[in-house]
Amino acid sequence: MINVGIIGAGRIGHVHGESISKFVKNARVKTIADPFLNDATIEWAKSLGIEKATKDYKEIINDPDIQAVLICASTDQHSKLSIEALQAGKHVFCEKPIDHDVAKIMEVLDVVKSSGKKYQVGFNRRFDHNFRAIRDAVKAGKVGKQQIIKITSRDPEPPSIDYVKVSGGIFLDMTIHDFDMVRYLSGAEVEEVYAEGSVTVDPEIGKAGDIDTAIITLKLDNGATAVIDNCRAACYGYDQRAEVFGTKGCVAISNDSDSNAVFSGENGVVAEKPMFFFLQRYMMAYAKEIDSFVEAIVNDTPTEVNGNDGLEPVLIGMAAKKSVAEHRPVTIAEIRQEIK
């Protein structure tokens, strides 16, 4: 049994606390830490059988009985906490992104290498049953040579403006999952990015220096072209669709809904809307990614989502931001050169 400490008791910390307690068989949460710990969180932790709740994350870092740390704190703390935990001899699961600063990401990757500990980045969609079905079909050669990859990702409602201001922008916050999906579904690397963006949901998002609607095209090193469309608000719910088209065929997934019931009547045909948001849509994917992380520790095998998988989507996101700003295609090689 792997003893786990969770740093950060916000929304994603709650998700992992719930999923480990209910679905992950070889792990238990011993301690959860958050500087803003309150009575409600303490009671929630007790209800899940979590032994300790504290405001001091160092109680996790310094606990010899804790083998693995989940970093669910704010993004600006991810790289710092990753390094502290690794240097303390802990295996680390870090929510995306590792950092918005590539130099800090590289520092983490160096410590991962020197520590010899497991490190997994939280791109949970890789563990979703729908996306994994596409990946399995592609790996099996069922679509032949890949030609076009399409990903639609639209949230049901925009985040708060306060969140937008610290998010790193849509490409490093929301689209980063889709950049990861392009790499995961195709098994290829992105070479060039061209993006167009606008503010169509909330003018305050534009005033905060961000966009809320975007189309991104990506050239891959296997010759395929990927297209991503994003919007911060879709009135009908959480829109998560994808397809890979190739010379032998096409594999596509549609949205999950609470049921697949369809009512047909004289006024039309009505089906259920997609699940409302990521907590409903991806809850089991969160459990499966932690189960995979724990199994990598137990069996001493590589993690399914490694540090480089955390780095590449950030580079793609930086290229997309530059593309929107300068109205031109931007290569990943150009971004790498700039950050040397």
User: Do 201 and 240 belong together in one domain?
Assistant: yes
Q: Is 234 helix (H, G, I), strand (E, B) or coil?
A: coil
Supply the range of the domain harboring residue 85: 2-117
Q: Does residue 293 belong to any structural domain of this protein?
A: no
User: Do 187 and 204 belong together in one domain?
Assistant: yes
Q: How far is CA 154 from CA 64, 131, 173, 232, 233, in A?
A: 43, 16, 13, 6, 6
User: Do 252 and 151 belong together in one domain?
Assistant: yes
User: Do 25 and 110 belong together in one domain?
Assistant: yes
Instruction: Out of 5-19, 158-172, 269-283, 303-317, pick the least confident.
Output: 269-283
Which residue, of 56, 86, 117, is where some domain finishes? 117
Helix H or strand E encompassing 153: strand 146-154
User: Do 160 and 110 belong together in one domain?
Assistant: no
Sign of CA dihedral 253, 257, 259, 263: negative
> What is the average per-residue pLDDT within 312-320?
98
Q: Which residue has the tokens 């369809």?
A: 262
The CATH code of the domain that includes 324 is: 3.30.360.10
Q: Does residue 301 belong to any structural domain of this protein?
A: no
User: Do 29 and 112 belong together in one domain?
Assistant: yes
Nearest alpha carbon to residue 32 among 299, 40, 24:
40
The whole-number pLDDT of residue 311 equals: 97
Residue 295 has pLDDT above 90, yes or no: yes
Percent of the chain scored above 70 by pLDDT?
A: 99
Residue 2 has pLDDT above 90, yes or no: yes
Average pLDDT of the chain, as a whole number = 95
Q: Tens digit of pLDDT for each residue in 188-230?
A: 999 999 999 999 999 999 999 999 999 999 999 999 999 999 9
Q: Does residue 261 belong to any structural domain of this protein?
A: yes
Q: Encoding tokens for residue 312?
A: 């590449």
The CATH code of the domain that includes 84 is: 3.40.50.720
Q: Does residue 299 belong to any structural domain of this protein?
A: no
User: Do 96 and 144 belong together in one domain?
Assistant: no
User: Do 102 and 136 belong together in one domain?
Assistant: no
Instruction: Specify which residues 239 forms β-bridges with.
Output: 154
The whole-number pLDDT of residue 273 equals: 81
Which residue, of 53, 84, 117, is where some domain finishes? 117
Residue 100 has pLDDT above 80, yes or no: yes
Rounded-to-integer distance, Cα 312 and Cα 180, Å: 8
Q: Tens digit of pLDDT for each residue in 25-46?
A: 899 999 999 999 999 999 999 9
The whole-number pLDDT of residue 257 equals: 83
Q: Are residues 83 and 94 in contact, defined by beta-carbon separation less than 8 angstroms? A: no
Residue 279 has pLDDT above 70, yes or no: no
Q: Does residue 288 belong to any structural domain of this protein?
A: no
Q: Tens digit of pLDDT for each residue in 188-198?
A: 999 999 999 99
User: Do 324 and 279 belong together in one domain?
Assistant: yes
> What is the average per-residue pLDDT within 297-322?
97
The whole-number pLDDT of residue 246 equals: 98
Q: Are residues 233 and 155 in contact, defined by beta-carbon separation less than 8 angstroms? A: yes
Q: Encoding tokens for residue 113?
A: 């290498």
The whole-number pLDDT of residue 255 equals: 86
Q: Does residue 161 belong to any structural domain of this protein?
A: yes
User: Do 130 and 55 belong together in one domain?
Assistant: no
Strands (E), 155-295: 190-198, 213-220, 225-231, 239-246, 250-253, 262-265, 268-271
Q: Encoding tokens for residue 221?
A: 């090193």
Is the pTM higher than 0.75? The answer reads: yes
CA gyration radius, the chain: 20
Q: Does residue 109 belong to any structural domain of this protein?
A: yes
User: Do 182 and 162 belong together in one domain?
Assistant: yes
User: Do 32 and 168 belong together in one domain?
Assistant: no
Amino acid present at 304? E
Which residue, of 63, 96, 117, is where some domain finishes? 117
> What is the average per-residue pLDDT within 73-100?
97
Q: Tens digit of pLDDT for each residue in 142-174?
A: 999 999 999 999 999 999 999 999 999 999 999
Task: Describe the crossing of helices 307-326 and 175-186 by its angle, rounded to 10 degrees.
Answer: 120
Q: Are residues 72 and 12 in contact, defined by beta-carbon separation less than 8 angstroms? A: yes
Q: Does residue 297 belong to any structural domain of this protein?
A: no
The whole-number pLDDT of residue 13 equals: 95
The whole-number pLDDT of residue 46 equals: 96
Q: How many domains in the chain? A: 2
